Structure 1
């Protein structure tokens, strides 16, 4: 089962930390882990972490990390313990905002076409309408910002069914790994270096699970 692969890579302590935000008894444990990992990444990519987020990450304690995913969690927890709020706020601004733009431009349209506000955004908006996912009124970023896309994916996992894998194949798999690779090589990345490593390892795992799921439909 795909969930068994998740369970093998997800450390129990990591799951407990993620689930501290609220456990859903009607969702399989491995899907809760996936859902909450997307939400954590969305939170970190939407804005610099506050102290409560850093404290949560510090609680991750992986004694013997073996996989790329567990190693990334381990490094992120250690880095969070050494990170100051002012430092990470400056880092986030340099990476994602900057004077004109940051070192990483976190939009699907930019990665898939080279320009902003292009067809990938239009296609995403169509699917979000179909899935009845609406942007919050307080959010002004285009829907193809990586944080918004990951948040939408977490909602689809929470709902269950095949839509999550269709959404992943259309709107996450084609570009998110490249974004995390750019983030990994960004000059300003310190706290966000292990975030990028976590993102890369997680998307690799999700890609494997997506292939398994799609093959099971045939």
Structure 2
């Protein structure tokens, strides 16, 4: 999946739990960057259900898997366009700054740029999306969790700091906006998975 930040293939050794976390971040990054194509929809439709663990996440995932089996590429593209692009102002903003309520002088994009640079994660040349695009934030977490392309995973403390600074503040309101939008159908399931997953991540970081 091509995402906002430069892609880096996950390299071993990565614990299965960490690989699974990275996969969910990669999926969210892809789905909020562009509509799923037929290949991704087919992959999701055939994905195994989650057994054990968080019931909310398992239910949300089963709903997304089922929806992927009946959604077609054209309909997904139309829904993505209606929600996140549209004519004029998008129905739902994909930028974290929209959901944090920070004043312009304290826009989260400034801190994101600084933190990405400190972590050695550069915005790829040719990518003109602002750094607070949720797709980019999820992809940054993917790299921090799993590393890749010669890069080691970040420490848990580094992951927690980036998550709590840039993902957590606006994620819940973002997912709620996606779920509540009248145009949302397939993406209501995507948002439910994202909401459950980010909730699990938050709990895990608090226990760590």
TM-score by length of 2: 0.86
Report whether the alignment pairs 1:42 with 2:36: no
Q: Is the 8 A contact 2:175 2:195 kept in 1?
A: yes
Report whether the alignment pairs 1:178 with 2:178: no
Residue of structure 2 aligned with 1:135, choices 112, 118, 123? 123
Residue of structure 2 aligned with 1:156, choices 132, 141, 144? 144
Question: How far apart are 1:25 and its partner, in Å?
Answer: 3.2
Aligned residue in 1 for 2:14:
27
Mapping for residues 92-131 of structure 1, pairs under 5 Å: 92-113=80-101, 119-131=107-119
Q: Is the 8 A contact 1:184 1:196 kept in 2?
A: yes
Aligned residue in 2 for 1:19:
none
Higher RCO, Cα 8 Å, sep 6+ = 2
Distance 2:139 2:122 in 1: 11
Post-superposition Cα deviations, 1:73-130, rounded to whole Å, max 9, x if no partner, equal: 1111110111111111010011101111221101111111277896200011000110
Q: Is the 8 A contact 1:109 1:117 kept in 2?
A: no
Q: Secondary structure at the match of 1:175?
A: helix
Q: Is the 8 A contact 2:97 2:170 kept in 1?
A: no
Distance 1:188 1:117 in 2: 33
Q: Which runs of 5+ in 2 are unaligned?
A: 1-8, 147-152
Q: Secondary structure at the match of 1:171?
A: helix
Distance 2:158 2:55 in 1: 28
Report whether the alignment pairs 1:191 with 2:186: yes
Q: Is the 8 A contact 2:57 2:197 kept in 1?
A: yes
TM-score by length of 1: 0.82
Distance 1:115 1:51 in 2: 40
Question: How far apart are 1:151 and its partner, in Å?
Answer: 0.3
Q: Which runs of 5+ in 1 are unaligned?
A: 1-21, 214-218
Go from structure 1 to structure 2 and tell me whether the alpha carbon gap of 1:111 and 1:176 turns closer, same or farther (over 3 Å shift): same
Q: Count matched residues.
A: 192
CA RMSD of superposed structures (Å): 2.0
Question: How far apart are 1:212 and its partner, in Å?
Answer: 1.0
Aligned residue in 1 for 2:5:
none
